Structure 1
């Protein structure tokens, strides 16, 4: 479930606590969490609804002034869902990303995990190197160079992000401080 930057700002301030999405099947569940740039969202409830049932209070809680605005942002197909959530805290990956003091055990654990990610086809070193070359390297650029689908590349970078090695920018990716420390540990002369 993605949010626009302006909505994320309002989620952080506690102004937006609802979302509406059209899906064939929900991508979140009540009791679950969702990591966003605003922090971790706790999903309180998810229920089927229709546009006619959306109240003025719901529109306001979702950050909309009118049903027409909401309708314009929705996909044309799928069941409409009302998702209630609250900000549960900071994204734990944030602290991880900013930890650039890696000891030998952490480096060894990262190498072991990346080796597992590389099965059956090695990609982690290449992707980390491409991102290290230039902040803002996009998934499309990397996917083309690797000869894989963009969506598959995004999933792969998501794995690196979960380890605290990369972070998303408005466009593209960059290495986090932790990512720079890890890459430097592989190539100390850099």
Structure 2
């Protein structure tokens, strides 16, 4: 979820607890926790409102001087629904970071990772992709996703979604530009090399 930089401090401090978005399709779910540039943000509630129903209290909670200022700042097609999100900053560390830092893998860990990767490969309409993706990120850290995808002959948007799946397993780390293999991912790749 993208959050404007000028809202980061307010969300982090708790001064901003509401966001407004005009989306063609809902892009967040109540109860979800999202990684953002400012850290993890929880969406506690989400509902659709008409611009006319945005209250002054909600505008203040969103960091705006007035409801009119909120409406003026809404992006997107005026015909799309407007969502009001009740948000809060999540201070606890992302469990994926702890998982990614774990470089001591047991035989069970390696087997579990191999099983998950095999399932991802089987579920892909384009065929196996996990090993090639891990290997290219290992060889070419901090390289743009589009460049990595092109080298593999893959669509960039699909490639990014797939790398996110690897990140959820603690195998990769997203950077400002590109990715790098996590300690857990490096340990897994090393174990594969030793087995072959």
Place the TM-score, normalised by the shorter chain, in its bin. Answer: 0.7 to 0.9
TM superposition score normalised by structure 2:
0.80
In the alignment, what sits opposite 2:146? 140
In the alignment, what sits opposite 1:35? 34
TM superposition score normalised by structure 1:
0.82
Q: Secondary structure at the match of 2:11?
A: helix
Instruction: Output one character per residue of 1:72-110: Cα deviation in whole Å (capped at 9) or x when no partner.
Output: 462234111110022344322121111122111101110
The gaps in structure 1 that reach 5 residues or longer are none
- The 5 A counterparts of 1:1-190 are 1-4=1-4, 7-8=7-8, 10-30=10-30, 32-37=31-36, 38-41=39-42, 43-55=43-55, 57-64=57-64, 68=69, 71-72=72-73, 74-77=75-78, 78-88=80-90, 89-119=92-122, 120=124, 121-188=127-194
Instruction: Output one character per residue of 1:38-97: Cα deviation in whole Å (capped at 9) or x when no partner.
Output: 1251x2221222445445553443345675587446223411111002234432212111
Larger Rg computed on CA atoms: 2
Q: Whole-Å Cα distance in 1 between the matches of residues 190 and 72 of structure 2? A: 48
Q: 1:178 to 1:45 in 2, by over 3 A?
A: same
Q: Whole-Å Cα distance in 1 between the matches of residues 191 and 93 of structure 2? A: 28
Q: Secondary structure at the match of 2:173?
A: strand
